[in-house]
């Protein structure tokens, strides 16, 4: 589990900004306005950022943004690089991928922008566009 003061910076790509529409699969219908935050596996491993494959691991975080747009929204650490891997590869709002997409729109995020993901406690995250 990440500790207070831990952080990672991620660079946004089209897939992170337009997850519901910029896809290379037809596994579901197009949904505009979705987004997520990528966490490289190396960083997830350094942070001990686990997904639901790790038994008894916390994978739910309260996320706020430095501009106040989001406040204590439940996000999940999820996804993995290969089946059964315990390290998360992304963070997204629990049950609603549009939450992050709305924030991206609010801050005018574009491909190449960087987002700092900073743990203010083991269960709280602050997002800042840098």
Which domains can be identified in the chain, with CATH numbers?
7-129 (2.40.330.10)
Q: How confident is the model at residue 29 (pLDDT cuts 50, 70, 90)?
A: low
Q: What is the pLDDT of residues 84-114, one digit of tens each?
A: 999 999 999 988 888 999 999 999 999 999 9
Q: Name, in order, each residue with C-beta under 8 angstroms of 96's C-beta and a sequence gap of 6 or more.
A: none
- Flag whether pLDDT at 21 surpasses 80: no
Residue 127: name the closest of 76, 36, 65, 35 by CA: 65
Q: What is the pTM of this model?
A: 0.88
Instruction: For the sheet with 37-38, list strands across it.
Output: 7-11, 114-121, 124-129, 60-65, 73-78, 90-93, 37-38
CB neighbourhood size of 76 (10 A): 18
């Amino acid at each position: 589990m990440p500790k207070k003061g831990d952080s990672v910076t991620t660079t946004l790509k089209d897939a992170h900004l337009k997850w519901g529409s910029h896809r290379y699969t037809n596994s579901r219908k197009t949904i505009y306005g979705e987004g997520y935050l990528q966490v490289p596996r190396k960083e997830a491993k350094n942070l001990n950022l686990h997904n639901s494959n790790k038994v008894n691991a916390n994978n739910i975080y309260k996320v706020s943004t430095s501009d106040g747009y989001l406040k204590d929204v439940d996000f999940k650490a999820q996804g993995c690089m290969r089946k059964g891997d315990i390290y998360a590869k992304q963070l997204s709002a629990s049950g609603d991928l549009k939450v992050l997409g709305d924030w991206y729109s609010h801050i005018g995020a574009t491909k190449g922008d960087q987002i700092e993901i900073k743990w203010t406690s083991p269960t709280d995250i602050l997002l800042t566009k840098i």
